[in-house]
Structure 1
Amino acid sequence: MKKIVFAFFIFCGFAGFAQKHVHLPHGMVFGHKPNGIAPVPATKIEDFMGKKIRQTTALTGTLIRVTKEKGGWFEMDAGGGKIIAAHFKNYNITLPTQLKGRGVIIQGVAQRALIADDMQHFAGDTVVGSKQHQEKVNPKARITFEVWGLMVDR
């Protein structure tokens, strides 16, 4: 009987040690530390970019969810129901799912979704004329972001 009780405590002890809790303190960095560029709120990135297709910048915002841990794929809130789909340039980055809902600062390259009008893959989001209303662009996922570095802000 004593052996059974002893074995029970041993197995419970291993189960307790197997639980891991990831603590994400303020200032924790994934990839390169974002610096050198004043961050822009993610809700104003489209206005900041103007008509540019690509823009190197830093953003501040709330991380909605981590879609894929390996490679650092995540979604960021861009305000007004819009989403910024982001991933790390370096595939060796692993993001914990506990980042959901946290405020972050990211640095990298923002890029608009392109419309391939008549096989013109670099046409950009500038369709005018008779084809203007025929193109189907998802307005909620217009910006993608290639991240060089992420820092937990709050």
Structure 2
Amino acid sequence: MKLITLFISFLIAGTAIAQKQVPLPHGMVFGEKPDTITLMPASKLEAFMGKKTRITTAITGRVIKVTKEKGGWFEMDAGNNRIIAAHFTNAGINLPRQITGRTVIISGVAAKQFIADDLQHMAGDTVTGKKQHKVNTNPGRRISFEIKGLMIDK
């Protein structure tokens, strides 16, 4: 009896280890299906936004890494060493780590994130004297993206 129980436990353990991960297929959708009418590359998003701080659009780009599976938090390559931090508005969506390195189409709301120096500069609080520091004139601010839908492209 003990031998049969031991054999069955080895059989179950062997099948659990032998299972292969199935690659994510082209066209797989998480959340809502993205609207591809206003589709643009992620590298052109910042130029398209111009002086606007928020915009609703759809972009395509490569996923750099999944930072948190629950809630679908990941980072997307925006070109020129820039990163788009993206997450789903629906926190119930779980995004698999296998999506890393894949090209995806996402739709939702893009928003510019400002750093403290920029906010003080816009408010007119400029510092003079010894405490003066260099104001960040780099136009490449970080962009966050609240996703309503994601589709695997390549």
TM-score class normalised by the smaller sequence: 0.7 to 0.9
Aligned-pair identity (%) = 56
Query: Cα deviations across residues 9-59 of structure 1 (Å, max 9, x unaligned)?
Result: 433321243346243100000000001533110111111111111111101
Amino acid at match of 2:77: D
Higher alpha-carbon deviation: 108-117 or 82-91? 108-117
Counterpart position of 2:147:
147
Counterpart position of 1:92:
92
User: Could you tell me the TM-score, scaled by structure 1's length?
Assistant: 0.79
Larger helix fraction of residues: 2
Distance 2:46 2:142 in 1: 9
Query: Which stretches in structure 1 are left out of the alignment for 5+ residues?
Result: none
Distance 2:85 2:29 in 1: 19
The 8 Å contact of residues 118 and 136 in structure 2, kept in 1 or not, is answered as: no
Runs in 1 of length 4+ with deviation above 6 angstroms? none
SS at match of 1:92: coil
Provide closer, same or farther for how the CA distance between residues 24 and 47 of structure 1 changes in structure 2, counting only shifts above 3 A.
same
The 8 Å contact of residues 84 and 145 in structure 2, kept in 1 or not, is answered as: yes
User: Could you tell me the TM-score, scaled by structure 2's length?
Assistant: 0.79
Identify which of 9, 12, 18 aligns with 1:11.
9
Distance 1:136 1:88 in 2: 30
Q: Matches of residues 2-151 of structure 1 in structure 2 within 5 Å?
A: 4=3, 7=5, 9-18=7-16, 19=19, 21-35=21-35, 37-116=37-116, 123=122, 133-135=134-136, 139=140, 142-151=142-151
**RMSD value, Cα:** 3.2
SS at match of 2:109: strand
Q: How many aligned residue pairs are there?
A: 147
Distance 1:7 1:137 in 2: 66
Query: Which stretches in structure 2 are left out of the alignment for 5+ residues?
Result: none
